[in-house]
Structure 1
Amino acid sequence: MSKSGGVALARRIGRRVEALGRRARKSHRVAFVALAVVQLVIAIASHAWMTLVPTSFLIIPLVVGGVLLRFGELVALTGITAALGSFIVLSRGLTSPRVGFVLVLVIVGWIMIASAKVRSRLGVAGTRSESMLMELRDTLTAQGELPKLPAGWRVEVAIRSAGGSSFSGDFVVSTVHDDVLEVALVDVSGKGIDAGTRALLLSGAFGGLLGVVPEEDFLPSANRYIRRQDWDDDFATVVHVAMDLRSGEFDVRTAGHPPAIQFDAWSGRWQTRDADGPLLGLMEAPEFAPNSGQLKPGDALFLYSDGMVETPRRDIGRGTDRLAGHAERLVAQGFQGGAAELVAAAGGPGDDSAIVIIHRMAHPLS
């Protein structure tokens, strides 16, 4: 595209954005005027036919305004509502129930205003802030979608947030390039919603690094990115595997994360793949040594977060043995559906839990 064409496109986009902004502002004004008129009609009807139109109907448009209006418009609507309610009460004489109703009206308005003030800090009005949160959650979920693998391979992932929240401090990013599967399971400090915003930020950054930088540079690059954020006490742990889908050879690197465990189908044994490395974000130039191995047909490799193996009453070593014991029961079914089962069986209720299972099937057609 030529420079003049790019400028023209930018101008068209700018005009479109301005038009959308004007339309949004206009729609808010229309909603405010409509709700104010409704309040006035309710007040007049209630004053004339008290038994048919209770004054408490004034609360309904106020709550609707709390959902639809911007902060300033909601303050104005609350003032109008309080004034109309006070007028009706004064016209009928002051009694304790009527004064109590005006007080309830003011309290409801204050609650609506407080909620709108929080949304106004985001620069959005009405339900758009909730929509943005849902879109962010969906983005984080989409980052963890696993790529399609060739015949003979299966990979599963399951993540459960602490407290049942939609946001989790654990997330997965993955890619396939040149017959190499790269998967990184990341655990951000904190849990649930508190860690969800940082997880979203890092999932985009780490997803962009994965498969672009050489596999040995992924963790150092991720560490430099976190260092640039200048977070005070926040850090992340990562387990990263690069798996050759032709030979089954792999390298595992960890950054302050529990080690991967491998199931050997030939011997029926479980082997811990230790690859010690420091937490991301704490050191300027850490080194991450790989632990190399190979998945033969029937073998499986497990990546998991500390929520799967560690509790205040159980250390990681015992937790890893317990996880392997649960996974042993899944061997007969070829580990199919095993990720969800293991999170449900071994995941700690007070922490985010996540697991990834990479299985090289002994019978690809099964």
Structure 2
Amino acid sequence: MQLATVLSEAVEVQDIVKIVCSPVMSAFDAEGIALLTVDGARLRLLGHRGLTEEATRMIDGRLVDTTTPAARCILEQEALFFSSPQEMDHAFAGWSDRSRLSAFALMPLTALGRPVGCVAFGYREPHRFGSGYRTLFTSLSGLLAQALDRAQLYDTQHQLARRLQDLLLPTALPEIPGLQVAARYRPATRGVEIGGDFYDLIRLDSGCAAAIGDVQGHNVTAAALMGQVRTAVHATAGARPDEVLTRANKLLTDLDAGLFTSCLYAHVDFAAHRAVLATAGHPPPLLLDPEGQVTILDVPPGPLLGIEPGALYTPMEIPLPPGSALLLYTDGLVETPGTDIDVSLAELADHLQRAAGSPPDAIADGLLGQAPGSTAGTDDVALILIRREDDHH
């Protein structure tokens, strides 16, 4: 196994930890290993194997000073090698008993001239660290430092973007008399993990409006643009669906963000028992009628938001009597590489029809559970299910 290749392919910090605690540990015949990083003024233990609980307590959370081997290694940016218990205890009194090791080596991890942590290798018996060992340790530390620095940056960006996306999605949907609602959002579990999927439910005097959309891309820009689109849709809710999309499209083309957005908007009129829908390049919604039959609605297609400044959208009116439901979703619910989209849509319709008698929350959970890549998805999934309650409910 080429450690350089494995490290170069690592994305997250936990990927680095797994590599250190398995192939790296084995490659150096170590019986204990620890990976630490600098977190402000303290050391944080990212992962370890073969260390005593006392040893981990003595290093995790410690100030970056010179009272522990790891802290000294990082602070002075110096590799430390101790071939026997006597050498260990001479430098740091009592460390052989605390660690139950007879030899260990510590290598500083430095990226772009900045200390990012250290890696420690432990041995149960005295161990001579010859020039060959030291050269290998030094080479590894350089590769490991770059990989860890890159992974920490990735994790930080991901956390910020995820937080941004969470803030932009509705924390709770409004309770609307006569309407049962279930919404779900599942972030991708692989890759960049940040997308621009959004959904919304808006209370209106005559009923409600539901919207769902997907901004192209998987980064902070996509998440931020998603918030702007959702705000634009929310601000114009109550107008005809085609007008809502026209105004949102004008916003995106004026912003010239270089990202395109699909969006589906539905206006539900309770008194008239109908819904009016318009789409901007979004997957077709599904209608579940009171008898439990499912129809894939062929809403007249309109261009994605953000492409054509003067784009027009054509509304479609459908009956929505009590007991019927609408399912709006993003493409992560149906798209599978190598599978025809019509086949996936038919399967989704079948799942919805078989779950027709269940409460909306149970239906939503079931649909999410059968979505492509439900355990290792590469795309976000959002869905919102709205069901008119029966008159006798």
The separation in 2 between residues aligned to 1:269 and 1:95, in whole angstroms, is: 72
Q: Which residue of 1 aligns with 2:182?
A: 156
Asked if the contact 2:284/2:296 (under 8 Å) is kept, the reply is no
Asked if the contact 2:176/2:203 (under 8 Å) is kept, the reply is no
Q: Which residue of 1 aligns with 2:64?
A: 35
**Does structure 1 residue 205 correspond to structure 2 residue 228?**
yes
Aligned partner of 1:355: which letter?
L
The separation in 2 between residues aligned to 1:205 and 1:253, in whole angstroms, is: 19
Q: Which residue of 1 aligns with 2:275?
A: 250
Asked if the contact 1:253/1:288 (under 8 Å) is kept, the reply is yes
Q: Which residue of 2 aligns with 1:281?
A: 306
Shift of residue 99, structure 1, vs aligned partner: 3.7
Match of 1:321 among 346, 363, 375: 346
Q: Quick one: structure 1 residues 289 and 309, their matched pair in 2 at CA, closer, same or farther if it must change by over 3 Å?
A: same
**Does structure 1 residue 195 correspond to structure 2 residue 221?**
no
Aligned partner of 1:148: which letter?
P
Shift of residue 107, structure 1, vs aligned partner: 4.2
**Does structure 1 residue 362 correspond to structure 2 residue 390?**
yes
The separation in 2 between residues aligned to 1:276 and 1:267, in whole angstroms, is: 26
The separation in 2 between residues aligned to 1:319 and 1:108, in whole angstroms, is: 43
Q: Quick one: structure 1 residues 112 and 325, their matched pair in 2 at CA, closer, same or farther if it must change by over 3 Å?
A: closer
The separation in 1 between residues aligned to 2:366 and 2:199, in whole angstroms, is: 18
Shift of residue 262, structure 1, vs aligned partner: 1.6
Per-residue CA distance 1:166-190 (angstroms, 9 max, x = gap)? 534432133224354222211233x
- Which stretch has the larger CA shift, 194-203 or 325-334? 194-203
Q: Which residue of 1 aligns with 2:249?
A: 223
Aligned partner of 1:98: which letter?
R
Aligned partner of 1:100: which letter?
L
Taking structure 1 as the reference length, what is the TM-score of the superposition?
A: 0.66
Unaligned runs of 5+ in 2: 1-38, 44-62, 90-94, 96-101, 120-127
Q: Which residue of 2 aligns with 1:170?
A: 197
Taking structure 2 as the reference length, what is the TM-score of the superposition?
A: 0.62
The separation in 1 between residues aligned to 2:333 and 2:159, in whole angstroms, is: 31
- Name the SS of the counterpart of 2:276 in structure 1: strand
- Name the SS of the counterpart of 2:234 in structure 1: coil
Shift of residue 286, structure 1, vs aligned partner: 0.7
Q: Which residue of 2 aligns with 1:50?
A: 87
Shift of residue 287, structure 1, vs aligned partner: 0.8
The separation in 1 between residues aligned to 2:318 and 2:354, in whole angstroms, is: 23
Per-residue CA distance 1:263-305 (angstroms, 9 max, x = gap)? 2215846362513211112212111111123321111112123
Shift of residue 252, structure 1, vs aligned partner: 0.6
Per-residue CA distance 1:189-215 (angstroms, 9 max, x = gap)? 3xxxx5243441122112222332253
Match of 2:164 among 120, 136, 139: 136
Q: Which residue of 2 aligns with 1:339?
A: 364
From the two aligned structures, give the one with the greater strand fraction.
2
RMSD: 4.0
Superposition map of 1:260-299 within 5 A: 260-265=285-290, 268=293, 270=295, 272-299=297-324
Asked if the contact 1:146/1:175 (under 8 Å) is kept, the reply is no
The separation in 2 between residues aligned to 1:169 and 1:302, in whole angstroms, is: 19
Percent identity among equivalent residues? 24
Q: Which residue of 2 aligns with 1:14?
A: none
Q: Which residue of 1 aligns with 2:134?
A: 98
Q: How many residues align?
A: 303
- Name the SS of the counterpart of 2:357 in structure 1: helix
The separation in 1 between residues aligned to 2:136 and 2:296, in whole angstroms, is: 69
From the two aligned structures, give the one with the greater helix fraction.
1
